[in-house]
Structure formats: structure tokens, C-alpha cells
Amino acid sequence: MTSSSRLERIFPAYDNYAGTMSDRQNDFYEAEAPQASRELAELRTSSEYVAPFHIIRRRVIDDLFDGKPTIDATLVIQIGSVEETEAASGVGVVHALDVALRKALLKYFPFLEEVRVTETYTHATGESTEAEVVSVKKFSDGNLAWTTLAKSANTVEAGWRSLLDGYEWRIYMESLKLRRLSANPRFSSR
């Protein structure tokens, strides 16, 4: 799949774009962030918003064992006043972090069990290994679908942030739904 066809899948407006690939890349970086990322950015500016979890520390070991690459991640996360430590292995850095994160989050937010990253896209532009990277992740839980976007000069950091945002947005949406249900007795009795 070419870079331009990936962009078209993420941003359908690119289907009939007449510019060069370089123009497309520049427009990609200036494109409006997906709804979940925009909503989180707005929420985070409010002094009343409290994130459902905080990452205290993360550590990844990218190793070779018996001639095979092995990625192990350890994560310390704070949920409310409780700190949890989880470890996991994965096929890549972000995957190992995702598995560890899910292990911790599912204890407190069991509705996340159905959440899956359905598509991930990482794109870098620039002439060096220090180029800015954009990570786009599409999520679904079978009912809702949402997309996040994060930028960083570090590929892993961009992927990690877009992953965190996807889980945080879904937790926020669930808490919003529960507040609406409890505020309206007609809905809560069904």
C-alpha cells in the first residue's frame, strides 16, 4: 500500500487531491485532529477534568533471547489513589505497553474488554531519524468507533500517546453515559 493510499483511507478528502505527495504530507500535519483527540484536548484545558488514570512510569526492554526478538514492558499506573504495576510481552514496544496497560485498566474499567485497536498508522516526514512522527489509531468496541492522533519526534512516544488517548476517551465517554443515566431516573429504571 502506498503512502498516499494510506492517507486517503485516513482522510477521504485526499481521494481527489491534485497536489504532490510532499503537499499531501504538509496538509496531513495541518489536518484537523480526529474527534476523540479534539475532545480530549478540550477536556484537558478544563480545571474540572480529572484524567481517569496517570502513567507514573514505563519501562521497555527490547532484547534478543534465543535468537528471537523479545519486547517486555513494565508499567506503573495510578488509578484514583491506587498504584498498579503490570508487566507484559509483545511483538513490538507499543504492543507490549498496550498489553500491560490493558491488564491494569481492565481491573477498574471492565467495559474496556471489548476495545480493540482496529487500525494503526504511523507517518514520519523529514530527512532524518529525528523527523516528526504522527501516529493515528482507530479504535472500536463493537458499538462505538473513534480515532486518535498524536505527534512526537519519537515514534514510540507518538504511538504510545495515541494509544493512551484512545483508552482515556472511551473511559470518559462511559463516565459521561453513566452520569446521564443517573441524572435521568427514566433511563436508569430501564
Is 115 in contact with 142 (CB distance < 8 Å)?
Answer: no
Strand runs (DSSP E) across 114-158, as ranges?
A: 116-125, 132-140, 145-152
For the ranges 38-42, 99-103, 173-177, the one whose mean pLDDT is highest: 99-103
pLDDT surpasses 60 at 27: no
pTM, full prediction: 0.80
Please, what sign has the CA dihedral across residues 47, 52, 54, 60? Answer: negative
Mean pLDDT of 1-27: 45
Q: What tens digit of pLDDT does each residue of 159-181 get?
A: 999 999 999 999 999 999 888 88
Q: What tens digit of pLDDT does each residue of 46-93 get?
A: 999 999 999 999 999 999 989 999 999 999 999 999 999 999 999 999
Q: What tens digit of pLDDT does each residue of 118-171 get?
A: 999 998 887 777 789 999 999 999 999 999 999 999 999 999 999 999 999 999
Give the Cα separation of 103 and 100 in Å (integer).
Answer: 5
Domains of the chain are 1-31 (no CATH), 34-48+115-190 (3.30.160.340), 53-108 (3.30.160)
End-to-end CA distance of the chain: 48
Beta bridge partners of 82: 79
pLDDT score recorded for residue 183: 80
pLDDT score recorded for residue 188: 52
Amino acid at 101: L
34 torsion bin: left (phi>0), alpha (psi -120 to 50), beta (else): beta
